A and B are shown apart, each in its own frame.
Chain A
Amino acid sequence: MREITVRQAINEAIREEMQRDERVFILGEDIASYGGALKVTSGLYDEFGPERVRDTPLAENSIVGAAIGSAMINMRPIAEISYIDFTAVCMDQIINQTAKWQYMTNGKIELPLVIRTQGGGYRGNGAQHSQSLEAIFTHIPGLVVIMPSTPFDFKGLLVSAIRDNNPAIFIEHKLLYNTKGFVPEKEYSIPFGVADVKKEGNDITVIATAYMVKKALEVANEFSKQGIDIEVIDPRTLNPFDYETVFSSIKKTHRAVVVNEAYTTGSFARQIASKISEEIFDELDAPVLCVGALDVPIPYSKVLEDYVLPSNEKITEIINKVLDY
């Protein structure tokens, strides 16, 4: 079984799609010979050259705008915004342009573009480089929002995002780049809106995204030692979202906790929790609780950041609360 890192899985997906379809090209800050701020695009410049691997100025609005304009005439751009925090700089181009053109033109325009970006904390990058802003994008209709957690899912979903004709926001958690896992050598792709049950269990359902999947699995392993079987579901894409898998799991466990890394107020975890209560309230033996970051900017100092972001202890505490209800 071949094991590669998330970083390699992303790089491989881009490389293979660029080999397969000459309309695919990438643009972003420092992505060419430098290989990207997080070295995700290394080697692509040497293979595909400066036309298809384009370094841009520090100009997020025109990076996204250039992706939109080229996608409008049938190119398939992959734009990199090196931190999700910087999407705030180009929010008009994402919210008012990228997300709207297909709808506003009644489908005359298709925008086959991918905005790859990197988010999340736990690395001491401070308040402007550590956020989990996915709920901004899930709030806006018209954007596919992808947040994988394993090398296999990263590759398969990026391949789908590149081949699909909709705009996609592809969020890479900074702590996952070095995570190793199985990725087959043969071609595959993962559809949007299909969750993956990362661990089966009958006692409680934990829905977790991105880096939180890793934490949820660690916590679940601890609970197993006490004979409590947690089912861990990774939705993999937030829009579209696989409520079907979540609901059928809860129909079995009757309890649920949603874990994400975003600020708690208005988070996508809250959306999942509220949807569960709306749709299958009768199945629940306890309220659905959420774990997220405290509602403060992400602080720098390790002791403060660890306190603000979800910890295994916090996840454990909330799971116990739901189990004991």
Chain B
Amino acid sequence: MTRSRALPLLGVLILVFSTLTLATPAQTQTPKSGRTLNIMLREDLSQGFAIHESSTISTVFPAAPCFNNLVQFDPAKPIESTDTIVGDLAEKWSWQDNYRNLVFFLRKNVKWHDGKPFSSKDVKFTFDMLREGPDAPAKLRINPRKDWYANVEAVEAPDPNTVVFRLKRAQPSLLSMLASGYTPIYAAHIPPANYRTTCVGTGPFKVKEWRKGEYLDYAKNPDYFIKGRPYLDGLHYVVIVERGTRTAALQAGQLDVAFPGETTKAAAEQLKKAVPKLVVTPVGTAVTDNIIMNSKKPPFDNPKVRLAVSYAIDRKGLIQAVHQGAGVPGAAMAPRPYGVWGMADKDLLALPGYGQPADMKAKAKKLLAESGVAQPIRVEMVTRAIAVYVDMASFVINELKQVGIDATLKQIETAQWHAMATRGDYQIGANLTGLGVDDPDANLYENFACGSPRNYSFYCDEHVTKMIDQQSQELDPKRRLGIVVTIQKKLEEDAARPVLDHRIDYFTFWPHVKGLVPHHNIYNFARMQDVWSDK
């Protein structure tokens, strides 16, 4: 290479290097140890530390620092996929027998917080309990993710550092589900019920004190298996029920980190205006707004009426009006860059409700006229008595009115919501669905498979179910994506559970908080192992 050619190249390299250096200052700084972070909680821990008995961020977020998984999504990467999975309690893993066996090689010298050694027995105990195997040594009071492990035939612990998951059929998704924040390993020597009040984990932080309804304090685990981690001396989670007070506390610096999924676009703008140095990161939440329609009850037993509802709702209008732009349109799976299984924009445009609003509403009216159902159609729309639900439902009611569906709103208390939806004791509802992991298996089986208890619309299509099974076993990621896109298209065309948008969170923290990378899924970045404070 001549000198004249080498110089510009060197210049470009220097420029690229400097840009990278400026863009990621946290990565180039040497982490400092010490200090306790103050972190926001919007309510007390719902089920204590019993993550396996809960499906809410209010449990996972504050309980995660106590635990470890077998594997986890790389804490430093916001996008989650099988490519970003890294080891946690497992150092290595290997798919064998054409994805029928998944073998984990565990770390050695890992201790539980009570000093007892961790081994493969604990892993077997956890997953036998979760899948409710015939010889399970313990039973959970509530087991919301049993279906995730329906394909696991056996979990074996041939030696203290090896665990083998034997599957009934190939299922590459299993690894993603094991990386979810909802999949911590419990100690075999602790009754699962104890996790509702206290926590014995292997995680980077040990529970110091939990004052009910007030705060949760963690102290650094000095025996953590990664030397030098965690960096922080402790974590102080403060329960602040009032939203205005929470925001004020963050603004005043009494809190260092916000609660995931908590900061709306308007709140973020207000905070940024008041304290320009705050770090605000827009991230996907893995939560969708969607419409559930009871396909067993009139008028929604008529497919044309269901489809008309989907056509009637202007997705972009909803995102602007209800979320002030803090959402993205998408079908069942989160679109890029928030997920890896979503449909491309051009494909979305061909779906009901995604075209020009006037055209869509005209189509909705035509479908209603063809449906044979007497008009105007009067229905009762149910939603949870929580502001985020009610706002969305109010918008939808207005949209439906414009095509001749007269809906009245009925607010249902949280205590009644799931029971009512599972029983099918409703006509149409405005609903929110959160996904523990951005994976088609976790979503499609749970919400769209025939007979699933969370398939609130009672949608059942044998062909779709076959395709769900097909994608689940597909080993080629590209081919699998193709099947998943086809399924999503079919679900939207059938108005199985029309997805209105994927919510965006404006995750906020102070600039002295380093090493905290919010993911596009609120459930999977709460371990705090690599977080440090530059204050």
Q: Do A and B bind each other?
A: no
Q: Which B positions have Cβ atoms within 8 angstroms of A?
A: none
